Structure 1
């Protein structure tokens, strides 16, 4: 009984009682400066539980010494300085959608939860929009809809704003470029705690690197000022196909990637493998097309998809917030699990879209029982997108002219699987993706990449990004004390 009582005291004790431990020491200092209302260290509290929920559930196994909820950039500065002084580990959490270990989670360190940084504004004279990093894009879209405007961001409402720092693919990207291309000014708290503004005229190197060049690698972004975009009605929906159309749909996707020239038309082509037996008929496989047109009438833009026999067609006129709720409003939440991403990149003028699909399908058949869900997503990068990016100054990816495409590979392993088994299936999954190769000269998409793929090294701007990283994080504080993309 005494040992239980002591253990309970250890869990609930004030963080200051562990002054020799970097995490609790940092937490005690932060609490003394920001007040106890902005710090949570009780692991049994609902607030602690909510902040340690992630889309990739293993990230929630990491237990921070405390969770801090800044409400201003000055708070973020104070937190970083306290973390530095204690030599503690830390992590920055926005929407918590990145599945890479320690990218937004920390064990025994300080978790900086940005959810209270959620202010938004719109200037009708300049048409510029601002939003802070807390919350998810669905909430941001709903706010700007009252002005008949939106911002370029995620394609699922439940994804956080950190997506934009990684590039950010949107249904509007064929017209306006990546999410990061719309940045006009960023407020950033540097690793040393200094609060700066980065734009095309101030701290221009930092602004360049923050547009798709490594997320929060150079500091913590506390406010985005972006070019907003006009918004109206969308023709959109999901087409769902059964196994007999598997190759027909792949050909239609390949044609769309190569030949579509309408920047208002956007797709995601998704192949899903289920753990059920296929009985040699591919009964375990479905195809879901996401078709989105900026306007009420797509004309012939999607004829090569709608002409293929399908099981279900949900297309109708929607508002933009409704578009990003396809196929269902809680898609992000219900897809939580032991998830990992990997990414591939390919040119459109060959049969690589088929080659990768065949490799993926064969792997899925060979590993039945070792996954809960297996998904392959085709994400076109048309020339209209790369032209729009270049017209706004380009981004850290230095995107070559389209058309080309990214492939997102998702693996969800079953609950209760041993770590040894999970590691083995992930290793095999990695080998399968690597066997499909990647096109030389094209960047991997860091929003969908696994940390071991070292996506930044595929950027033509990599050496420049390394120099910028060294300039703004000279003592490797961020590199050593939190997770993130490798610059080595």
Structure 2
């Protein structure tokens, strides 16, 4: 049965979609409770345009009825209660880097842009750091560098702080675990508008689930208190390899994943495919290695890579700010496009990832013209990382012992593609990733997962997370009115 709210536009003879009506109603209610400077509905304003720009530019097309710029947990509480009363769709945006539709974007509903919430603090006695969810990790790192400290977060400066709620992989993770493992206390606005604290002492189940268990699925995090880490000089840089070196570099990546035991050494191996012909000479591919060592001398940690002749070598002594701006500053912003992620997980020591690489190469060759860039990123999960996670109580993944590694399958499609062609290429890429298989008993990495991969179902804790979700979102308000991972 239609509600009175849904019937009113029809009675008036105006066929306005229910979602649009609910969004407009919510915006009107919010405008009476918050300062006008915190509410924007003009699609031509600079703030509106900036707030509706995403790393996956396909999300730019969605236009919220209004954008709210809260500057406190109290503001967020007011907004959530108004959204509930109106029955409006909504979304929460920090950095806007998640490419999945409606995970941080909304059409005709209410967008909560957290960019005004950027307060940070450092306690020299406890070495605990606090930061609010607005802004990007690069800003957070620069703030704490004053004390020669940092926090475990994104590997690119331009990525938003919401990454930590999905786990968060850092160059420091082999020493300190995932970003979420460093959480010590979270301020959270629940789906009913309550403002609560979650920690190992208070709302412990909520705290557990918020450490990598689905982002803002249980409430909106408005402040992080985390264990900071010491920071100094790094030996770091990029090695770029072309053509006939690629197979040797892939072998070196496999050896590093399986045999490296130095927790200060971290890598990302990014295998790139371009839409240009390869002419049977691998002219369409390159590998960009990110090598990072927490200290000025890596010793032999990266010798398997440095022994291979590289086209470009930018390694040397760097600050942490320089490290997270590799290969160039603003790389997150520059790489905006029709981007989508998928993820796989494998253990070293067998040929599963070799098969995945071969299938990916074959797909790339068979689908020239349907992508602007493909990237297959090797992300090691060493035992030192999983040990560090367990030592801090573990996270929602309850990570099995390493070593293993996540494969990030990035596809960037040409702009102007028809909907039918776009859907077809995404379905084909989905099938490619699915058919390569995954190692049994290992979790998929939420930060790199597509919505249809249902990463939470790969967690050994999934049933526990379902119970926590039901407890804190009992009427499925967040589940039904905003995007996010499936708990079904």
TM-score range, shorter chain: over 0.9
CA contact (8 A) 2:344 2:437 kept: yes
2:286 aligns with 286
Compare 352-361 and 418-427 and name the one that shifted more.
Answer: 352-361
Q: Compute the displacement of 1:66 (Å).
A: 0.1
1:195 aligns with 195
2:441 aligns with 441
2:175 aligns with 175
Q: Compute the displacement of 1:20 (Å).
A: 8.7
1:92 aligns with 92
Task: Supply the distance in 1 between the matched residues of 2:77 and 2:63 (Cα, whole angstroms).
Answer: 23
1:305 aligns with 305
1:125 aligns with 125
Q: Compute the displacement of 1:141 (Å).
A: 0.3
2:382 aligns with 382
2:228 aligns with 228
CA contact (8 A) 1:141 1:150 kept: yes
1:96 aligns to what SS in structure 2? coil
TM-superposition CA deviations, 1:312-370 (whole Å, max 9, x none):
10001111011000000111011100010000001112122211111111100000000
1:198-347 matches, cutoff 5 A: 198-347=198-347
1:63 aligns with 63
1:30 aligns with 2:30: yes
The runs of at least 4 aligned residues of structure 1 exceeding 4 Å deviation read: none
2:475 aligns to what SS in structure 1? coil
CA contact (8 A) 1:19 1:25 kept: no
1:372 aligns with 372
Task: Supply the distance in 1 between the matched residues of 2:441 and 2:374 (Cα, whole angstroms).
Answer: 28
Task: Supply the distance in 1 between the matched residues of 2:242 and 2:20 (Cα, whole angstroms).
Answer: 60
Task: Supply the distance in 1 between the matched residues of 2:19 and 2:315 (Cα, whole angstroms).
Answer: 59
1:457 aligns with 457
1:9 aligns with none
TM-superposition CA deviations, 1:247-304 (whole Å, max 9, x none):
1011000000000000000000000001111111110101000000000000000000
TM-score by length of 2: 0.96
2:157 aligns with 157
1:353-364 matches, cutoff 5 A: 353-364=353-364
Task: Supply the distance in 2 between the matched residues of 1:52 and 1:40 (Cα, whole angstroms).
Answer: 12
Task: Supply the distance in 2 between the matched residues of 1:352 and 1:182 (Cα, whole angstroms).
Answer: 32
2:186 aligns with 186
Task: Supply the distance in 1 between the matched residues of 2:326 and 2:74 (Cα, whole angstroms).
Answer: 37
Compared CA separation, residues 310 and 78, structure 1 to 2 (3 A): same
Task: Supply the distance in 2 between the matched residues of 1:294 and 1:48 (Cα, whole angstroms).
Answer: 40
Unaligned 5+ runs, structure 1: 1-17
Compared CA separation, residues 137 and 20, structure 1 to 2 (3 A): closer
Task: Supply the distance in 1 between the matched residues of 2:229 and 2:330 (Cα, whole angstroms).
Answer: 25
CA contact (8 A) 2:20 2:109 kept: no
CA RMSD of aligned residues (A): 1.0
Q: Compute the displacement of 1:23 (Å).
A: 0.3
1:216 aligns to what SS in structure 2? coil
CA contact (8 A) 2:20 2:65 kept: no
Task: Supply the distance in 2 between the matched residues of 1:277 and 1:48 (Cα, whole angstroms).
Answer: 41
1:441 aligns to what SS in structure 2? coil
1:407-486 matches, cutoff 5 A: 407-486=407-486
Unaligned 5+ runs, structure 2: 1-17
TM-score by length of 1: 0.96
CA contact (8 A) 1:250 1:353 kept: no
Task: Supply the distance in 1 between the matched residues of 2:255 and 2:49 (Cα, whole angstroms).
Answer: 46
Task: Supply the distance in 1 between the matched residues of 2:110 and 2:198 (Cα, whole angstroms).
Answer: 26
TM-superposition CA deviations, 1:57-81 (whole Å, max 9, x none):
0111110000000000000000000
1:101 aligns with 2:82: no
Compared CA separation, residues 466 and 299, structure 1 to 2 (3 A): same
2:14 aligns with none
Task: Supply the distance in 2 between the matched residues of 1:243 and 1:467 (Cα, whole angstroms).
Answer: 51
Task: Supply the distance in 1 between the matched residues of 2:332 and 2:355 (Cα, whole angstroms).
Answer: 29
Q: Compute the displacement of 1:306 (Å).
A: 0.3
Q: Compute the displacement of 1:234 (Å).
A: 0.3
